[in-house]
Structure 1
Amino acid sequence: MRILTAAVFALAGLIFFTSFNTAKGTDIRTDSSLLKLSDLIQERSRKNKELDESNAALRGNVESLAESDDGSTKAQDERLSGLEKRAGTQKLTGRAVTVTLNDAPPNATAKLPGYPEPQPDYLVIHQQDLQAVVNALWQGGAKGIKVMDQRLISTSAVRCVGNTLILQGRVYSPPYKITAVGDPGKLQQALAASKAIQTYMVYVNVYGLGWKVTDDGPVTLPGYSGTVDLHYAKPVE
């Protein structure tokens, strides 16, 4: 019996020593290799933002060098400048309207009679809500649109996973802000006329989803700073 007890203590000592030697004074359970997926996503989003900013700076340097003597005529330069503005790669200044969407309070209840108590799905912003606002603003003659801090271009895709926005490689949480440069009156009329937004407004009035439209006056939207290369699948040869 004594021999068995001694063997158990010896084995326990060996396990403790091995654990200590592996941890090297750290907590194994919180080792950096066990980061949650959400932490990894946020880290990748931060790196993508840094790469976008670096890309924008390098693009500016290249354009400055090209402008010094690229052999083009004045008419060609003006045409290129116009194309860049329409493509969204240059800054855009003008009167703007901002739409802010936000989740409802988690303890929200139906504010109007005749409506069911909310399901969790009723209380969060969805992809179609953001897309409805962006589409309405384009319909209202927006000259340029910014979602959060990023300019939209023709290949931009507004996508959500749950109630988290993924835009051009970066991740955002509500409240979501969408800013459009254009005629404020026409932009707000287009928002009011949108059938999808009218449906969203029912949830605003009944369950308390966030909705705010502001006339911002003169605003400067940033130019798109990401890559413009298209990525697509190719058939196997």
Structure 2
Amino acid sequence: MDPTAPQQARKRTAWRFGVPAVCLLAGMLLAATHGVSGGDEIRRSDAPRLVDLVRETQQSVDRLSAERDALAATLDSHHGGTPAADAALAAITARADRLAVEAGLDPMRGPGLVVTLTDAQRDAEGRFPRDASPDDLVVHQQDIDAVLNALWSAGAEGIQMQDQRIIGTSAPRCVGNTLLLNGRTYSPPYVITAIGDAQAMQAALGAAPLVKLYRQYVVRFGLGYSEEPRSAVEIVGHKQPVRMEFAKPAGPVGY
């Protein structure tokens, strides 16, 4: 019997189990590498590096900053940045400030007249006149318009209704027994405050046909009406944005 046979048998057994184990480990390593790389080469030369991403981002920021500066320069050339543009902008601003008073955008204070209209009240027995219809007992839009027009015709410098300034785009509207003004609703009494010559405004109210008719209803159906001259009243400025879809200058335009 060959004395080296047992030793050779042990070597063959080691190789028989060792080679498959090494191959299995190598396969697992390759599989893990493939999963991490997503099938691409990990160490390829064209793979993006962090420093390259930072450099590209900085270049993008520099480009956008340059565009911003160019746009700012263009804006300055149109709305300032030069003596001529600054002078034009100052003239426009000054004219806007002057027109703000006439447009009703600034508060006002001065002598004036307070006119109050309200719906009819029940008598001591809790009843209205028998021949009165529901329309006879409430303040209508035409009544409010009549008062406002009379005040304007008498030279009122500014008018406020309830807590809002009346301007060229204001349009009081009656919705049922409530008033709609600039998107807000109000219930009576309706208080109209005007700055100007109180005597002239009272005379205009006394001569207005629709105001005369309303006063007849005051006597007949119990509607409320009062005029109160005051030595000083305050009216607010118009706060909401002034929006116009169609408009044209009423006269020459200039600075």
Q: Give the AA of the match of 2:114.
A: T
Matches within 5 A, 1:4-83: 71-72=86-87, 78-83=94-99
Question: Following TM superposition, by how much is the alpha carbon of 1:79 offset from its aligned partner in structure 2, in angstroms?
Answer: 3.0
Q: In structure 1, what is the Cα distance between the partners aligned to 2:194 and 2:87?
A: 33
Matches within 5 A, 1:141-152: 141-152=155-166
Matches within 5 A, 1:50-199: 71-72=86-87, 78-106=94-122, 107-109=127-129, 117-199=131-213
Question: Following TM superposition, by how much is the alpha carbon of 1:229 offset from its aligned partner in structure 2, in angstroms?
Answer: 1.4
Which one of 243, 251, 255 corresponds to residue 229 of structure 1? 243
Q: Give the AA of the match of 2:98.
A: G
Count residues with an aligned counterpart: 157
Q: Give structure 2 stretches of 5+ with no counterpart.
A: 1-84, 247-255
Q: What TM-score do you get using the length of structure 2 for normalisation? A: 0.58
Q: In structure 1, what is the Cα distance between the partners aligned to 2:184 and 2:222?
A: 27
Q: In structure 2, what is the Cα distance between the partners aligned to 1:198 and 1:126?
A: 14
Question: Following TM superposition, by how much is the alpha carbon of 1:75 offset from its aligned partner in structure 2, in angstroms?
Answer: 6.2
Q: Give the AA of the match of 1:227.
A: P
Q: What TM-score do you get using the length of structure 1 for normalisation? A: 0.62
Where does residue 9 of structure 1 map in the other structure?
none
Question: Following TM superposition, by how much is the alpha carbon of 1:218 offset from its aligned partner in structure 2, in angstroms?
Answer: 1.1
User: For each residue in 1:99-124, what CA deviation from the matched residue of structure 2 results, as whole angstroms up to 9, or x when unmatched?
Assistant: 000100242227xxxxxx21111000
Question: Following TM superposition, by how much is the alpha carbon of 1:227 offset from its aligned partner in structure 2, in angstroms?
Answer: 1.4
SS at match of 2:156: coil
Distance 1:72 1:189, change over 3 A: farther
SS at match of 2:121: coil
Distance 1:223 1:171, change over 3 A: same
- Aligned-pair Cα RMSD in Å: 1.9
Question: Following TM superposition, by how much is the alpha carbon of 1:77 offset from its aligned partner in structure 2, in angstroms?
Answer: 5.1
SS at match of 2:169: coil
Q: In structure 1, what is the Cα distance between the partners aligned to 2:141 and 2:210?
A: 12
SS at match of 2:105: coil
Question: Following TM superposition, by how much is the alpha carbon of 1:199 offset from its aligned partner in structure 2, in angstroms?
Answer: 0.5
8 Å contact kept, 1:93–1:218: yes
Q: Give the AA of the match of 1:84.
A: A
Where does residue 12 of structure 2 map in the other structure?
none
Q: Give structure 1 stretches of 5+ with no counterpart.
A: 1-69, 111-116, 233-237
User: For each residue in 1:4-41, what CA deviation from the matched residue of structure 2 results, as whole angstroms up to 9, or x when unmatched?
Assistant: xxxxxxxxxxxxxxxxxxxxxxxxxxxxxxxxxxxxxx
Question: Following TM superposition, by how much is the alpha carbon of 1:71 offset from its aligned partner in structure 2, in angstroms?
Answer: 3.7
Question: Following TM superposition, by how much is the alpha carbon of 1:72 offset from its aligned partner in structure 2, in angstroms?
Answer: 4.7
SS at match of 2:202: helix
Where does residue 55 of structure 1 map in the other structure?
none
Question: Following TM superposition, by how much is the alpha carbon of 1:76 offset from its aligned partner in structure 2, in angstroms?
Answer: 5.4
Q: Give the AA of the match of 1:229.
A: R
